[in-house]
């Protein structure tokens, strides 16, 4: 009897020792699964808002949950439905799973909600029959995926809800780029229309699914809302070892995403 008591006490002591580390692991797992998750930006389609090499945090709770935002949780809703689901607002920068290839993650800006009529005319975005106002904001460098830099005109675009965000135009307005002129897109129920801020270098909802895989994005494909850039590193220009430290973009650390 005494040996059994000692054994039970030893088990209780071990459990008490493991309780706090186990709780910490569960909290971290819950946080990264249901609350927030880190993401990495590999392309320049969202420049100037996001740059190649940005590391960011996306919050999952604003739009509710589907199997793409909590893939390992038993009973997670299917992609067709969301638990505590809320639609984004126009102007939100969101992380989502690619329509044609759900294993691929994209990040774009929401410009169209269900029922909206979206059209591009001469490079300008029209929503529900009205052209979005843009105003010049100077010029800036755009980093291409091969490491080259080109100069692009920067503009500030205003959405119908009053939210403003920057966009890049690599081509002059008078030079029609791919999908600078489109038919009218009518956003289906529970779908969203996404566009990149780097308008002439973005695979987004203007393109058919067969061409670049985006098209109208189901609300169930949403993963998170991009919130903050926690760090940024210009790995494309980190060539010689003595230049590595200088490629950290310190000015972008802990900057909010709008």
- CA of 248: how far to CAs of 168, 235, 243, in Å? 23, 9, 10
188-247 tens-digit pLDDT: 999 999 999 999 999 999 998 888 889 999 998 999 999 999 999 888 877 777 777 888
27-75 tens-digit pLDDT: 343 445 566 788 999 999 999 999 999 999 999 888 988 878 776 555 5
**Cβ(236)–Cβ(53) under 8 Å?**
yes
pTM, entire model? 0.82
38-256 belongs to CATH 2.10.109.10: yes
**Cβ(94)–Cβ(84) under 8 Å?**
no
- Domain ranges, ordered by start, for the chain: 38-256
Name which of 245, 208, 226, 209 is nearest 58 in CA terms: 226
80-132 tens-digit pLDDT: 566 667 899 999 999 999 988 888 999 999 999 999 999 999 999 999 999 99
CA dist., res. 70 & res. 77, Å (int): 9
Annotate 40-70 with DSSP letters as a single string.
Answer: E--SSTTTTTS-TTEEEEEESGGG-B-TTTS
Give 58's strand partners: 37, 226
Q: Which residues are catalytic?
A: 45, 108
């Amino acid at each position: 009897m005494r040996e059994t008591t000692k054994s039970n006490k030893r088990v209780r002591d071990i459990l008490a020792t493991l309780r706090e580390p186990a709780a910490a692991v569960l909290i971290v797992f819950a946080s990264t699964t249901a609350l927030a998750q880190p993401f990495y930006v590999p392309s320049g389609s969202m420049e100037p808002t996001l740059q190649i090499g940005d590391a960011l945090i996306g919050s999952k709770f604003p739009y509710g949950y589907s199997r793409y935002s909590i893939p390992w949780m038993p009973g997670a809703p299917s992609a067709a439905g969301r638990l505590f689901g809320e639609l984004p607002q126009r102007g939100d920068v969101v992380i989502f799973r690619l329509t044609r290839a759900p294993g691929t993650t994209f990040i774009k800006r929401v410009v169209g909600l269900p029922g909206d009529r979206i059209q591009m005319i001469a490079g300008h975005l029209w929503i529900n029959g009205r052209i979005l106002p843009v105003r010049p904001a100077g010029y800036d460098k755009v980093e291409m995926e091969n490491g080259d830099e080109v100069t692009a005109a920067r503009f500030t675009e205003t959405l119908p809800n009053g939210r403003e965000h920057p966009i890049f135009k690599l081509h002059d307005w008078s030079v029609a780029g791919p999908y600078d002129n489109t038919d009218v897109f009518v956003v289906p129920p529970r779908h969203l229309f996404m566009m990149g801020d780097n308008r002439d270098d973005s695979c987004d909802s203007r393109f058919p699914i067969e061409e670049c895989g985006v098209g109208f994005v189901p609300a169930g494909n949403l993963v998170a809302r991009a919130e903050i850039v926690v760090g940024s590193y210009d790995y494309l220009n980190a060539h010689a070892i003595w230049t590595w430290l200088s490629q950290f973009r310190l000015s972008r650390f802990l900057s909010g995403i709008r």
